């Protein structure tokens, strides 16, 4: 019996020893391994193939401008959002000046090129340089009345590759984007970054609704495309802030549909309409309304027989959000309404008499 017990005890000790050594070995191996690498969701892919695919869609634009030469000297800024208007009252002799001004891209295979309106403003002659190096004359066929966009037309010398237009309303802050153009007249180049902000107002017009990006946008990039990682154009590069670094702005690509509609003499997409006038909320108004932090926009006037009037929106209502999106200002609400199709329902959350109310408004068609 004692020998049997001894053999059993030895076996138990041996099993424990094997388990200990095995566990120890696994632990040492685990410690020696590199940590698991986590790839961010929506991370930036390898851009080599994407850039090769997109480059033929982008063009360089230069113009011959009809100007007056005179003795006065004037420093021309390296970049400007819109070119200074020429003073034709000055005495001097006429001449033409060649400028390598910007970039553009093919929005179809028929030779239509999207660019900034300020790139071709005042041009006596427009030249478009294709990715092959071939130079083709172009003409302006449409200019957007509200934003800095123009549509050019060339006669295609061979089958052209066009861009795919993305839905700029779906652009998210933090997603990767690629800017392509002709910075400083050096030739085609690309920069990459992320979307830094949306709905930026720069004071250039009532329809300011810029996409902000940290992808480098330099002089000569104006009119060039801002691509998402699916290779779709989500913006048209248009402005930089001279005093800032890493701050560039693009016009949302959804305005291109309006531009092409103008060129084809078809009705542009209808914009949504509420029929109200609003004011931004002040700190005093927020305290009076019991809104807490300053947010939303206050209804200043409701026009008779409008979608807002028929849905029960009243003067003095504080509009807090629209379709679940918190309203930052009156301009922010205007952009949301304008981007909603007539006939669709827009759910507004309003503060009235210290209580919140949900109001569904059937969006109307803008009379403008």
Catalytic positions are: 118, 148, 222
Q: Cα separation of 59 and 142, whole Å?
A: 18
CA distance 32 to 168: 47
Q: Which helix (H) or strand (E) holds 52?
A: helix 48-54
* Four-residue CA torsion sign, 180, 183, 188, 192: negative
C-alpha–C-alpha distance, residues 271 and 50, integer Å: 34
157: Cα separation from own chain's centroid: 31
Task: List C-alpha distances in Å: 318 to 198, 301, 304, 311.
Answer: 23, 12, 19, 15
3-state SS assignment for residue 129: strand
Contact 220, 118 (CB under 8 A): no
On whether the CB atoms of residues 300 and 278 are closer than 8 A, the answer is yes
For the chain, helix (H) and strand (E) counts, in that order, are 7, 21
């Amino acid at each position: 019996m004692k020998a049997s017990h001894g053999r059993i005890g030895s076996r138990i000790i041996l099993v424990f020893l094997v388990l200990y050594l095995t566990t120890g070995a696994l632990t040492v191996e685990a410690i020696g391994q590199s940590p698991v690498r986590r790839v961010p969701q929506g991370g930036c892919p390898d851009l080599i193939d994407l850039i090769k695919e997109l480059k033929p869609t982008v063009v360089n634009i230069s113009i011959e401008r009809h100007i007056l030469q005179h003795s006065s000297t004037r420093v021309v800024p390296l970049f400007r959002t819109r070119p200074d208007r020429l003073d034709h009252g000055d005495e001097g002799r006429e001449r033409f000046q060649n400028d390598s001004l910007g970039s553009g891209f093919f929005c179809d295979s028929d030779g239509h090129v999207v660019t900034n309106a300020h790139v071709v403003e005042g041009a006596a002659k427009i030249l478009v340089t294709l990715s092959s190096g071939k130079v083709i004359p172009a003409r302006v066929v449409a200019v957007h009345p509200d934003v800095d966009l123009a549509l050019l037309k060339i006669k295609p010398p061979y089958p052209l590759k066009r861009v795919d237009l993305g839905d700029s309303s779906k652009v998210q802050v933090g997603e990767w984007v690629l800017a392509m153009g002709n910075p400083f007249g050096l030739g085609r180049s690309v920069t990459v970054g992320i979307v830094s902000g949306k709905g930026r107002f720069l004071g250039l017009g009532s329809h300011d609704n810029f996409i902000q990006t940290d992808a480098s946008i330099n002089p000569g990039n104006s009119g060039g495309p801002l691509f998402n990682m699916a290779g779709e154009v989500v913006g048209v590069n248009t402005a930089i802030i001279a005093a800032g670094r890493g701050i560039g702005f693009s016009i949302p690509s959804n305005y291109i549909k309006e531009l092409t509609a103008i060129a084809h003499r078809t009705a542009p997409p209808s914009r949504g309409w509420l029929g109200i006038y609003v004011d931004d909320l002040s700190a005093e108004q927020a305290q009076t309304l019991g809104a807490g932090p300053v947010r939303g926009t206050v209804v200043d006037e409701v026009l008779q027989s409008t979608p807002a009037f028929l849905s029960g929106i009243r003067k003095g209502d504080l509009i807090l959000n629209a379709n679940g999106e918190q309203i930052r200002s009156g301009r922010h609400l205007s952009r949301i309404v304008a981007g909603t199709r007539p006939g669709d329902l827009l759910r507004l959350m309003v503060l009235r008499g210290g209580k919140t109310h949900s109001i569904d408004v059937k969006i109307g068609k803008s009379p403008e």
